[in-house]
Amino acid sequence: MSTLILIAGGSCSGKSTLCSTVQSRMEPECVVIPTDNFYKDLSSFSEEQLLNHNFDMPSAIDESWLCSAAASLSDSMPAELPVYDFSTHTRTSETKIVQPAEFVFIEGLFTLCQQSLLELASLKVFVECAADIRLARRVIRDTSQRGRDVESVINQYLSTVRPMHDKYICPSRTKADCVFSGEGDMERITDELIDKISDLRKSG
């Protein structure tokens, strides 16, 4: 059996950076699964529908596929993951096979909102970060990596990202076993998380 660790938090709070830093220290003992891969395919949507679509609520994620993949990896079995193209909001025709590892990190906005994931997890982590810092990071990321313009990023933040954060993500913090700041020294935070993972290994 593999040990499942959930990493949650708001958009651009530092979740991916934390996972990447931990992975660089722990490979090949860990694998990271971003839930961004599991956004539902919107290839049938018109441009107007895409503009009005809410990507910032749990139902935007294909929870069935995500939880099936998490269960397979938790059982030390390979899992097939979708590949998502953020510039077109569609899944590509390709999939990715991920091999299990001793520790499996599931990282994303809603990982502490999904009961089926909570039931599989041995450690639940929430990464918090001030809203203005998250917005600044999001503007930089979406304009440089996801084909967006600044106006559309800010409009989306005000219309759905911030209200859905307050409705879903912030309350999920109470499900966390530990909370880390995504604004601090990432190396120090990584040390703290790896210490907790070492405790899991000893107790397991």
Q: Domains in the chain, please, with CATH? A: 3-191 (3.40.50.300)
* pLDDT given at position 132: 96
Give pTM, 2 decimals: 0.93
Question: Using an 8 Å Cβ cutoff, are 116 and 4 in contact?
Answer: no
* pLDDT given at position 74: 96
Low-confidence ranges of the chain (pLDDT < 50): none
* pLDDT given at position 204: 65
The strand pair at 123-128 and 178-181 is best described as parallel
* pLDDT given at position 174: 98
Can you list the alpha helix ranges (DSSP code H) found in the chain?
15-26, 47-52, 63-74, 115-120, 131-145, 150-156, 162-164, 170-172, 186-203
Q: How far apart are CA 138 and CA 44, in angstroms?
A: 26
